Structure 1
Amino acid sequence: MGRWKALLVLGIAQFLMVLDSAVMNVSISTLVEDFDTDVTVIQGVITMYALVMAAFMVTGGKVGDLLGRRRAFVVGMVVYGCGSALTAVAPTVGALALGWSVLEGLGAALVMPALAALVAGNYEGRDRATAYAVIGGLAGAGVAVGPLLGGWVTTNLTWRLVFAGEVVLVVVALLLTGWIRDVGRAEPRPHIDGVGIVLSASGLAVAVYGVLQSATWGWLAPRSAPFEVLGFAPTPFVIGAGLALLWAFAAWQRRREGQGRDPLVRMALLVVPPLRAGLTTQLAQTLILLGFFFAIPLYLQVVQGLDAFETGIRLLPVSVTMLLASLSGPLLSRWASPRTVVRLGLGTLVAGGALLLGTIDPVLDDGAFAVAMAVIGTGNGLIVSQLGNVLQSSVDDQARSEVGGLQYTAQQLGAAIGTAFIGAVAIGALASAFLGNVEASALSAATEDRVTVQIEAGVGYVPVEAVEQAATDAALPPDEVDELVEDYADAQLGGLRAGVLAGVAVALVALGSTPHLPSRRPRPEAEEAPAGAGATSP
């Protein structure tokens, strides 16, 4: 047990980082009601949490090099605990965003790169592969416990208790940090690249904000946009501005390296084939998982009318199978290469998405839905069982903290884009389908015009009872009320199917990055990469 004590503390931290998002996703309807807001606002808060982590994760890795990894871990846990405490008592959605999205996000940006480096620094060889598999399994456990715990607490008590409980776990982890062997500061001590921080954070923020707002603004034809650009919606221009800032960031990093100064990210790392492939796959896997975990609760709660606890119960198969598949990493490595296992995981995700598409109907088929969830969880678990060890084994000891920052940047960027992109696809498809249904219906011309104006102004996921009430309040004839409700209900399902289909497409595209993943089974002895930023050959 002695050699695994450090993993216990690091595992608590990993569990906490994942628990939050799972709790929030099953509590969307309750949060909308508690803060008197709408789904888009809560979607923005969820996206901001992942975005703050993505924007500052590489910076967090550099801070770990500067302070020492264990000290960065401690500071990050303190900041995270303060954010959890504020979230637990948040009186407004603004306070919720500050506590959860900003403070917890910044705390996690310090904790997670340090965590990745500390695992590598405390374990070697097969123990290291096992440790990363356990960390991946605990991420699965957070996904497993989050919907169930969050759903039960939200339904029977209040979601705020989850965050109060997180404060307790943070205190426990802080008291046990002496069990972790520090891997020290990087030598020579790096200098923080302020310009790089601004360019990377603003580029990521602007690009993801554009994706998030696409559901409201429209992709090309403007809908409810605050302004237009040459008659087009601002969405592609905002996303383009974010990408331009990221291009400027990359150019700035190369310039600093050319001048012999410390960059925020050594661009040479990104050309290491196994590392680049692993980061791409990490981003895709998290995008799919978090995108699905945004869309599926909408189906269960808004369409099917289930409460948060009932939603958590139905998400349990994906969570349990993800946990079990994650923990299978050391066993799988005895007969298959990381490339084979990751490809199997992506293929399983595609199959699970196809099964899920067949279950999104007006009447929920619990059996078929559970099978789809189990298959999706298995696919995700197979992927995460391999990636942690692949990424950290691609570089030497000096680059581990930096790679930890890149690893979790990819993960959180995937989470931010997943919630924003799949949410935007679902809401955009809802609006398009609803408009098409209205135009093809037998509604009077006057009613059709009124509804069309409302759709173009923006439409979201609400219970059909709310649409029925709004139509009744507008003094529409009963037959037109019924027609409108039927059109909206059909559009809801179409939008959700489009969101799931987008996730399946991402999994298929991600298969293109797998040829550069390691094609050999890992050796049981310690596998150290060559000095510098070199990688083990694929």
Structure 2
Amino acid sequence: MSKVNESGKSWLVLIIISLSAFIIAIDSTFMNVAISTLVVDLNTQVSTIQGIIAVYTLTMACLMLFGSKLMDIIGRKKTFVIGVFIYGIGTTIATISVNAGMLLIGWSILEGIGASFMMPATAAIITSKYEGQDRIFALGVWGAVGAMAAAIGPLFGGFLTTFLSWRYGFGIEIIIAIIILLYSRKIIESPTTLNWKDLDVMGALLAGVGFMLIVLGTLFLNSLSTWPQVAGTVGAGLIILALFFFWQKRRINKTKEPLLDVRIFKNRSFSFGVINIIVLNLGMAGALFIIPVFLQTVTGLNAFSTGLTIMPMTVAILIFAFTANKIANHIKATHLISLSFILSLIGALLLSNVFSFNTTPYDVIPGLVLIGIGIGLANPLLSDIIVSSVKSKKQSDASGVLNTGNNLGKSIGTALIGVILLVGTFTALSTEINNNYPQLGDQQIKDNIQDWVLKLQTTDLTLLKSQQSIAANIVNNTIAKAMNQAFMGLSIIFFIGVILSLFIREKEKLVIK
């Protein structure tokens, strides 16, 4: 009998770790359906909430490599417990938020920091605690709980937002965080392999600042006044990440401990796997942001009904995430990844022409399901290729890059799709006004277009649906064209994924001594 079966209490560690995976996963999806309610409750704008969502995943992307390395310095248990504590403080602040600033600090920053410490430690704790078939079972449960939480997140958030309050979601997370802290004593601390002097502080700063500037530059596209700063901000971020790369090589050459062993990027399958996982999350985050905004502001659905509409997509992700490896027994994994991007591409193309005042939830389900199938198939296969492309002693680095890529893709995707929608709205509204009111000169339209777009974003559009007027037709056509442009943007993202997936090779393992 294995050591984990000697007592039922031995599985308590798995329960604790699974609970942490649950709150981290559900936190990334349950607030998307509450966007319209958050705008009203916190007296803010959709673009502000969009930024808060982006900063949450950005914080994790910036600190994931640091969180992975911290385990080697203070131990897995301490890293995990510190993360849970910070996460608990953050979710408490988010629960009592009275403005967007409090939600940003509590949810986006503190919860993001806590999650970046917790996430790398979860898999490491499981692999050190369980062995053999028990380890396979434990990892399966851990992954299933995370996938299930992400899948039910929109419905969970929609139910709470509609019938209670979105604050209850964060309140439930507080309770779970307390339970995890109370029972964390059951986790056995791991031996440390590094000292604080081994920590690559400069590398952590370069990576964090580089990622932050790239996402911040993308968010600058949300306002015409900050567009001139976009190129400089994104360019600075790319330069800093290049400096990070050369800094890591320098530390390796001097036999110092790097934050990340960048030599793993010599493996083509690893590198293109990471790029593909970023592209995949770009598309997923974009869809999960834009669909709830449309359903609530245009069709008038409440948060719960919005969650029900999105549910087929998240269920498809869950089902095909579980079956991807079995399907890969019959279809080559690299071919299956290409097929998954093609399915998501078809789904985005289907959705590009269904949006207007007359759109119903049933109209968006076929496209969402196809996107969900594609994401569900590709995600586990890409994750497996990324982690298995390097030797076991470098898998912690590979895992850190994987988690960073996931969160960076989600952060940029949320920001990017909002930008595409905004540009589409400006272009379409300008064209519609010019066609219907030719007496207005181009300069007059140019001078007023920003105010008109802002009014369009803050007006209850459901009141226009039953009207037969020029204004109603202008708004309807503007929405249809803007959403078409947004989903054509998503289609391009998935098409890029198709092309990049062709460069991945199977069973290519890089040996680093």
For normalisation by structure 1, the TM-score amounts to 0.85
Deviation at 1:388, TM superposition (A): 3.2
Shift of 1:434: 0.9
1:208 pairs with 182, 193, 215, which one?
215
Report deviation, 1:21: 2.6
User: What is the correspondence of 1:25-424 to structure 2 with a 5 Å cutoff?
Assistant: 25-121=32-128, 135-177=142-184, 184-186=191-193, 191-217=198-224, 224-225=225-226, 233-424=228-419
How far has the Cα of 1:450 moved from its partner? 5.1
Structure 1 distance, partners of 2:408, 2:223, is: 21
Q: State the distance in 1 between where 2:197 and 2:498 align.
A: 36
Unaligned runs of 5+ residues in structure 2 are none
Runs of 5+ consecutive residues of structure 1 not aligned to the other structure = 218-223, 226-231, 470-477, 523-528, 534-538
Question: Equivalent residue for 1:491?
Answer: 478
Q: Provide Cα deviations, 1:480-519, integer angstroms capped at 9, x if missing partner.
A: xx43443233222222222222222112212233345453
Shift of 1:303: 1.5
Alignment deviations for residues 359-410 of structure 1 (CA, whole Å, 9 cap, x no partner): 2232124333222222221111112232333332223333233222211110
- Larger deviation, residues 55-64 vs 361-370: 361-370
Q: CA deviation at 1:63?
A: 0.7
1:427 aligns with 2:422: yes
Q: Give the conservation status (yes or no) of the 8 Å contact 1:286–1:411.
A: yes
Structure 1 residues 170, 257: CA separation in 2 closer, same or farther (over 3 Å shift)? same
Distance 1:69 1:29, change over 3 A: same
Q: Which moved more, 1:262-271 or 1:147-156?
A: 262-271
1:74–1:174 contact (8 Å) kept in structure 2: yes
State the distance in 2 between where 1:345 and 1:240 align: 32
Which residue pairs with 2:448 in the alignment?
Answer: 454
Q: What SS class does the counterpart of residue 9 from structure 1 fall into?
A: helix
Residue deviations 1:81-127 (CA, integer Å, cap 9, x gap): 11111111112211111000110000111111222434554567887
Q: Look up the equivalent residue of 1:434 and give its one-letter code.
A: L
Contact 2:317–2:373 (CA<8 Å) still a contact in 1?
yes
What is the SS of the residue equivalent to 2:198? coil
**1:55-81 per-position Cα deviation (integer Å, ceiling 9, x unaligned):** 111111111121222331222122111
Deviation track 1:273-298 (CA, whole Å, cap 9, x = no partner) reads 23222211221111111111111111
Aligned CA distance change for structure 1 residues 530 and 375 (closer, same or farther; 3 Å): closer
Q: Distance in 2 between matches of 1:190 and 1:359?
A: 57
Distance between the aligned counterparts of 2:438 and 2:144, measured in 1? Answer: 53
Establish whether residue 440 from structure 1 lines up as the match of residue 456 from structure 2. Answer: no
Range with bigger deviation, 420-429 or 347-356: 347-356
Aligned pair in 2 of structure 1 residues 337, 128: CA closer, same or farther (>3 Å)? Answer: farther
Residue pair 2:347, 2:370 contacting (<8 A) in 1 also = yes
Contact 1:65 1:185 in 2 (8 A): yes
**SS of the residue aligned with 1:320?**
helix
Give the letter aligned to residue 304 of structure 1.
T
Number of the residue aligned with 1:228: none
Q: Distance in 1 between matches of 2:389 and 2:286?
A: 28
- Which amino acid in 2 is paired with 1:507? F
What is the SS of the residue equivalent to 2:43? coil
Residue matched to 1:508: 495
Using the TM superposition, give the Cα deviation of residue 451 of structure 1 relative to its aligned residue in structure 2, in angstroms.
Answer: 4.8
Q: Which moved more, 1:280-289 or 1:178-187?
A: 178-187
- The farther-off stretch of 435-444 and 91-100 is 435-444
Q: Is the Cα–Cα contact under 8 Å of residues 84 and 99 in structure 1 kept in the other structure?
A: yes
Distance 1:458 1:282, change over 3 A: farther
Q: Distance between the aligned counterparts of 1:388 and 1:10, measured in 2?
A: 20
Look up the SS of the partner of 2:228 in the other structure.
Answer: coil
Q: Contact between 1:83 and 1:104, CA under 8 Å: does it hold in 2?
A: yes
Identity over the aligned pairs, expressed in percent?
28
Indicate if the aligned counterparts of 1:57 and 1:408 stay in contact, CA closer than 8 A. yes
Tell me how far 1:314 sits from its aligned partner.
0.5
| Cα deviation code 1:170-189 (max 9, x no counterpart) | 23333444665665433688
Name the amino acid aligned to 1:452: K
Task: Give the aligned length.
Answer: 503
How far apart are 1:5 and its partner, in Å? 5.6
User: What is the distance in 1 between the residues matched to 2:159 and 2:202?
Assistant: 45
